[in-house]
Amino acid sequence: MAVSVWRQVLTLPVIVIAMGYFVDIYDLILFGVVRVESLGELGLNKEEITSWGTIILNAQMAGMLIGGILWGILGDKKGRLSVLFASIVLYSAANFLNAFVTNVEQYALLRFIAGVGLAGELGAGVTLVAEILPKELRGYGVMSIAAFGVLGVVAANIVAEHFAWRNAYIIGGVLGFLLLILRFRVKESAIFEHHVSDDVKRGHFFSLFSKKKLLSKYIKAIVIGMPLWYVVGVLVMFSPEFATALSIQGEVSAGTALMYCYIGLSIGDLASGYLSQKMRSRKGAYIIFMVLSLASVVSYFMLSGATASSFYTCVFFLGIFCGYWALFITMAAEQFGTNIRATVATTVPNFVRGSVVPITSSFMLLKESMGALGSAAIVGAVTFSIAFIALYFTRETFHEDLDYIEA
């Protein structure tokens, strides 16, 4: 991109929202990084660490499902900025308190509360950026947010390596409260303010289910993103267990695997966003990355007997080819009118994140009879198949004008 284009894209709202997403990802992924250490310190054995790790992860994701609905409705009724302020206060407080848990029940409750708070960050931010940038540049804006934001997992891994897990949670909470100060300089979306007095229902979540056209678009918008969280929530999150099943030579750490995956995701978000801008097609770029993502998953299952470094390399490429998160959120935001856009842009990514609950539950259920590899292969095949079908029926949105409402 030309320097003048970068200047138009990297405005204060884009920079502040990118920093917010960085903190959001740090807090979101931190449990995965410190899962073994923290649960071990709380007195759990190896089997309990896996089972309770799944329960706590699902509690966090369940919170994101609920929070996605609450923040989305608030964003369309009261404005995008209201969500950006309130959500960061909630998840920063919950993460700070996570440093002081004494049992797994407290841990699960606070991760649930943190999940509710974390649900509002990305959707409100993407909605705001999509509405303040020209349509030919909004893809670059969301791309920049996602590419910088996912590096929060790198920060989480580095912090966890140099600090005790309780201090890592404290740092996350403090970062959130510091970022809150910068948010006071960000202004509300002009498109939202233009329609705020319209005599239409804003943030009407249930209209997404009562109107056939909206429901169809909504389901497709969710389903096409599920493979990404299959990869992160199963293949990478439980990488030590898969390394054992694949007879990987050397020790594999979930935190290190997550770090390599998210570095790849950052690169992928830049690449997929840039490709969609150059192709002038969101859908075309998405198809390319989905195919490459599936190929990288197949390669993952063929790593039997490989070294730990080869395993991490494969995880890195898993991240690159799953790096269509920014593209996915952009497509969702562009599918709907401004009176329901924040609701969609906030709930869709969180329903996708929340899909890790049935995905991991299915994985754990089948694991008993089929083993980790067989179970993961079946769950992955179903997830990718459904996503490809939904993507086929999803319309192109690159040239969509966002200044309209849903009747």
pLDDT digits (tens, 9 = 90+) for 323-334: 888 889 889 888
Of 187-201, 270-284, 380-394, give the lowest mean pLDDT range: 187-201
Tell me what pLDDT residue 305 has.
93
- Residues 26-30: what's their mean pLDDT? 87
Tell me what pLDDT residue 216 has.
93
Q: Is 2 a residue whose pLDDT tops 60?
A: no
pLDDT digits (tens, 9 = 90+) for 149-201: 878 878 888 898 899 999 999 999 999 999 888 888 888 877 777 766 666 67
Tell me what pLDDT residue 131 has.
84
pLDDT digits (tens, 9 = 90+) for 36-56: 899 999 988 888 888 888 889
Phi, psi of 369 (to 5 degrees): -100, -25
The structural domains of the chain, ordered by start, are: 8-189+208-392 (1.20.1250.20)
Percent of the chain with pLDDT over 90: 39
Enumerate residues 6+ apart whose C-beta is below 8 A from 309.
250
Q: Is 236 a residue whose pLDDT tops 70?
A: yes
- Residues 7-22: what's their mean pLDDT? 86
DSSP notation for 381-396 = HHHHHHHHHHHHTPPP
Tell me what pLDDT residue 407 has.
66
- Whole-Å CA distances, 188 to 21, 109, 141: 18, 33, 16
Distance of CA 397 to the CA centre of its chain: 21
pLDDT digits (tens, 9 = 90+) for 109-130: 999 999 999 888 888 888 888 8
- Whole-Å CA distances, 271 to 185, 208, 267, 326: 30, 31, 6, 10
Tell me what pLDDT residue 263 has.
86
**Cα 33 from Cα 187, distance rounded (Å):** 35
Q: Bigger pLDDT: 349 or 406? A: 349
| Percent helix, percent strand, percent coil in the chain, to nearest 5 | 80, 0, 20
Query: Averaging pLDDT over each range in 13-27, 56-70, 145-159, 216-230, which range is the top one?
Result: 216-230
Tell me what pLDDT residue 191 has.
78
**Cα 368 from Cα 371, distance rounded (Å):** 6
- Residues 225-232: what's their mean pLDDT? 92
Q: Bigger pLDDT: 205 or 218? A: 218
Tell me what pLDDT residue 14 has.
87
Tell me what pLDDT residue 246 has.
94
Which residue do the tokens 């917010």 mark?
20
Phi, psi of 307 (to 5 degrees): -80, 165
The number of CA neighbours under 13 Å toward the Cβ of 169 is: 21
- Residues 248-258: what's their mean pLDDT? 88
Q: Is 3 a residue whose pLDDT tops 80?
A: no
Residue type, 69: I
- Residues 143-153: what's their mean pLDDT? 83
pTM: 0.78
Give the count of beta carbons closer than 10 Å to the beta carbon of residue 181: 8
Mean residue pLDDT of the chain comes to 88
Count each helix (H run) and each strand (E run) in the chain, helices first: 20, 0
Q: Which two tokens stand for residue 307?
A: 């070294």
Tell me what pLDDT residue 179 has.
87
- Whole-Å CA distances, 178 to 122, 172, 173: 18, 10, 9
Tell me what pLDDT residue 289 has.
96
